[in-house]
């Protein structure tokens, strides 16, 4: 077992590795060890809302083709735009098929379309944050976390492939599925029994701030204060920009406070993989968001009847 290491606020030291790595992919082993450590250090799972995206049926699974949206109709609109793009270089029946499918999506609710022999579907993605005694889980050491110098400005993480095989073969994912189903049952928002094969997507990252405890006996909590990012470093960059450029102007900070915020931003810049900072009585953390979708015999789970939506 490796010795513990602290990588900034919110990083619980200590790594758990399988004793026998013979025949095991070392990268997969490290990621599984991180997941097992997370189950112990951050045992509670909090559902923070669903996102919706669109995917196309391909060999071996479903390829996500659009960025996520907080509303099912938003995902339909994004898929409609994607289909219009596919129709643009075509003519005749093929182009008409894509455009008809796009029109059906915009009229909503429509969660599955076929055009030119290709199948597309709206996909429900559950977002979850692990929490423990010290708050929400920060990025894991095994999460891709490039520094700015190695991350070009044009970087965009490839969209996920939702495999027909699912990803429920390891303990961490099986435990995640159980917690997702328990949370859904408690909220009265259970999936259909046809959708029980879990597929984990790449995690997302955001910035959260700890808010005061409030009334006596009420625990402190953390609230997200930024959008989702593909890597921890992108989330850090957004926090650095807030501390250095946004807060002094928008919040009208006094000179001393602005200086403290600038020092905090510099500290985040200079310390690789630092996941938290405290400044002027405020505490921020980079938070890891797990994402999972459920697969059934005919494809990924669509929006549920209980999901908030807009209709056109």
Q: How far apart are CA 259 and CA 239, in angstroms?
A: 16
Q: Terminus-to-terminus CA distance in the chain, angstroms?
A: 56
Q: pLDDT over 70 for what percent of the chain? A: 83
pLDDT in tens, 183-208: 777 777 778 778 888 898 999 999 99
Q: What is the mean pLDDT of the chain?
A: 84
pLDDT top residue among 195 and 121: 121
Band (pLDDT 50/70/90 cuts) for residue 156 is low
Q: Which two tokens stand for residue 285?
A: 């953390």
pLDDT in tens, 8-21: 344 333 334 445 55
**pTM of structure:** 0.82
Query: How confident is the model at residue 34, as a pLDDT?
Result: 84
Under 8 Å between Cβ of 122 and 75: yes
Query: How confident is the model at residue 13, as a pLDDT?
Result: 36
* Whether residue 5 has pLDDT greater than 50: no
Under 8 Å between Cβ of 201 and 289: no
Handedness of CA 309, 82, 297, 295 (dihedral sign): negative
Query: How confident is the model at residue 287, as a pLDDT?
Result: 97
pLDDT top residue among 101 and 152: 101
* Whether residue 300 has pLDDT greater than 90: yes
- All structural domains of the chain with their residue ranges: 51-124+293-300
Q: Give the range among 27-36, 61-70, 116-125, 267-276 with minimum mean pLDDT.
A: 27-36
Length of the chain: 312
| 58 alpha carbon, distance to own chain's centre | 23
Query: How confident is the model at residue 157, as a pLDDT?
Result: 57
Query: How confident is the model at residue 11, as a pLDDT?
Result: 39
Q: pLDDT over 90 for what percent of the chain? A: 55
Query: How confident is the model at residue 215, as a pLDDT?
Result: 59
Q: How far apart are CA 310 and CA 312, in angstroms?
A: 7
Q: Which residues pair with 300 in a beta bridge?
A: 295
pLDDT top residue among 271 and 170: 271
């Amino acid at each position: 077992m490796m010795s513990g290491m602290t990588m900034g606020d919110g990083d619980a030291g200590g790594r758990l590795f399988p004793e026998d790595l013979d025949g095991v992919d070392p990268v997969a082993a490290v990621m599984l060890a991180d997941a097992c450590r997370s189950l112990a250090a951050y045992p509670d799972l909090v559902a923070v809302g669903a996102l919706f995206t669109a995917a196309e049926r391909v060999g071996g699974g479903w390829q996500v083709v659009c960025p996520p949206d907080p509303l099912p109709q938003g995902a339909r609109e994004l898929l409609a735009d994607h289909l219009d793009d596919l129709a643009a270089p075509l003519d005749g029946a093929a182009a008409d098929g894509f455009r008809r499918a796009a029109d059906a999506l915009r009229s909503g609710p429509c969660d599955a379309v076929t055009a030119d022999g290709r199948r597309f579907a709206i996909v429900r993605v559950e977002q979850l944050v692990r929490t423990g005694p010290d708050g929400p889980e920060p990025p894991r050491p095994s999460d891709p976390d490039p520094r700015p110098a190695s991350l070009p400005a044009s970087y965009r993480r490839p969209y996920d492939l939702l495999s027909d095989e699912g990803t429920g073969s390891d303990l961490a994912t099986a435990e995640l599925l159980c917690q997702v189903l328990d949370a859904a049952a408690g909220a009265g928002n259970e999936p259909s029994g046809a959708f029980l094969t879990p597929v984990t997507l790449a995690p997302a990252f955001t910035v959260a701030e700890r808010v005061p405890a409030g009334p006596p006996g009420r625990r402190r909590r953390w609230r997200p204060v930024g959008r989702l990012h593909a890597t921890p470093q992108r989330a850090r960059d957004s926090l650095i920009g807030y501390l250095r450029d946004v807060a002094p102007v928008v919040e009208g900070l006094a000179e001393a406070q602005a200086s403290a915020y600038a020092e905090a931003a510099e500290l985040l810049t200079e310390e690789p993989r630092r996941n938290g900072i405290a400044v002027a009585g405020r505490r921020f953390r980079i938070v890891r968001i797990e994402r999972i979708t459920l697969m059934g015999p005919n494809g990924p789970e669509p929006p549920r009847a209980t999901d908030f939506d807009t209709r056109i």
